[in-house]
């Protein structure tokens, strides 16, 4: 059980981050949810999660594109036994047409935020005598696709960062690993299915198989619950000697 541990999950008011937060809470951890908004529904989401699993759940607003706010998130959490660097955005364009501000935002949110939160969290983990850093990278941390230069660069970068942090903490009861999801069925992805059905004149199953999951040999999406379960495993005693590596949850994508 993760009772007594506090988990900070960046970018967790939707999608994978929320799924990871739910599984950590189910395992008994107190959780800190985060995004860059500060709406009543963000705080209500945390309250509902806390009530459902009988843990303390808070929502803290912090913009992961800003280094100082990344560090403030961890400081405001007060404890950070488990840090899940999940916040991320995407933009698709050829390199020579890639908007500079999109490049900068992707590198800041998908890569540099993890540097800032990890730098702030390690002293808290050392003081507590235990820690887990879990970086949500991507199959694009290990392979590339055209038109996703910033995303692929940031995700390869976070895999390298993961290895470095693991070496720096190797003799301590702290581990640092990256999870590399393939295509995950989040509300964002689900919302694209009707449009793709129209554009290609295909039914739902065909769009999923032939358009969305062409690179995922299982022809199935990974789920946010599976990513949450993988995160909980990395926090378990069984995973205490797993550090500085990647775990792919991609239906065979990177085996191709
Ligand atoms: P999502 O858009 O549902 O979630 C992204 C989260 O990050 C949201 O909670 C959003 O509010 C938050 N966020 C965005 N910008 C932020 C900022 N500046 N500050 C703080 N929070 C911010 O997407 P998702 O699919 O759940 O993606 C989560 C992570 O998983 C990302 O790092 C993404 O690259 C990675 N990933 C997703 C897939 C997939 O198929 N969905 C596959 C591989 C990796």
Domains and CATH numbers, the chain: 6-182+223-255 (3.40.50.720), 185-221 (no CATH)
Helix or strand (DSSP H, E) at 7: strand 6-9
List pLDDT tens digits, range 17-29: 999 999 999 999 9
Band of pLDDT at residue 192, cut at 50, 70 and 90:
confident
Provide ipTM, 2 decimals: 0.99
Atom of ligand 1 nearest to the CA of 18: 9
| Residue written as token pair 């970086």 | 135
What is the percent of the chain with per-residue pLDDT over 70, rounded to a whole number?
100
For residue 138, is pLDDT > 90?
yes
* 150 C-beta closer than 6 A to ligand 1: no
Rounded distance between C-alpha atoms, residue 233 and residue 178, angstroms = 12
Ligand 1 pocket test: pick from 88, 218, 220 the residue with the most ligand atoms within 8 Å of its Cβ. Answer: 88
State the average pLDDT over residues 58-85. 99
Q: CA quadruple 80, 85, 86, 91: dihedral positive or negative? A: positive
CA torsion 163-246-211-147 (nearest 10°) is 10
Q: pLDDT of 209-231, one tens digit each?
A: 998 999 999 999 999 999 999 99
State the maximum Cα–Cα separation within the chain, in Å, rounded to a whole number: 58
Q: Which of 22, 23, 26, 17 is nearest to 73 (CA)?
A: 17
- Please report the atom of ligand 1 found closest to the CA of residue 64: 19
Name which of 23-27, 59-63, 99-103, 188-192 the model is least confident about: 188-192
Q: What is the percent of the chain with per-residue pLDDT over 90, rounded to a whole number?
A: 96
How does pLDDT run across 151-189, given as a tens digit for each residue? 999 999 999 999 999 999 999 999 999 999 999 999 888
Does ligand 1 lie within 6 Å of residue 36's CB atom? Answer: yes
| Residue 191 confidence (pLDDT) | 87
For the chain, the straight-line distance linking the first and the last C-alpha, in angstroms and rounded, comes to 36
Which secondary-structure segment (H or E) carries 232?
A: helix 224-235
Residues in the chain: 256
């Amino acid at each position: 059980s993760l009772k007594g541990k506090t988990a900070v999950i960046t970018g967790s008011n939707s999608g994978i981050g929320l799924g990871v937060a739910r599984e950590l809470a189910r395992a008994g951890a107190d959780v800190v949810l985060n995004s860059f908004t500060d709406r009543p529904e963000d705080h209500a989401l945390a309250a509902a999660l806390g009530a459902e699993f009988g843990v303390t759940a808070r929502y803290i607003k912090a913009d992961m594109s800003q280094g100082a706010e990344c560090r403030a998130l961890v400081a405001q959490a007060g404890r950070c036994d488990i840090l899940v660097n999940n916040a991320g955005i995407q933009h698709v364009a050829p390199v020579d047409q890639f908007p500079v501000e999109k490049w900068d935002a992707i590198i800041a949110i998908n890569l540099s935020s993890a540097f800032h939160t990890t730098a702030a969290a390690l002293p808290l983990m050392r003081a507590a005598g235990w820690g887990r850093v879990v970086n949500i990278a991507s199959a694009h941390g290990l392979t590339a696709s055209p038109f996703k230069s910033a995303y692929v660069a940031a995700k390869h970068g976070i895999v390298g960062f993961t290895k470095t942090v693991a070496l720096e903490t190797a003799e301590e009861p702290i581990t640092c690993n990256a999870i590399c999801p393939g295509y995950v069925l989040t509300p964002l992805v689900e919302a694209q299915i009707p449009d793709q059905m129209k554009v290609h004149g295909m039914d739902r199953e065909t769009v999923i198989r032939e358009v969305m999951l062409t690179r995922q040999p299982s022809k199935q999406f990974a789920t946010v619950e599976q990513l949450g379960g993988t995160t909980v495993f990395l926090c378990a005693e069984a995973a205490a000697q797993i550090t500085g590596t990647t775990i792919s949850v991609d239906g065979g994508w990177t085996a191709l």
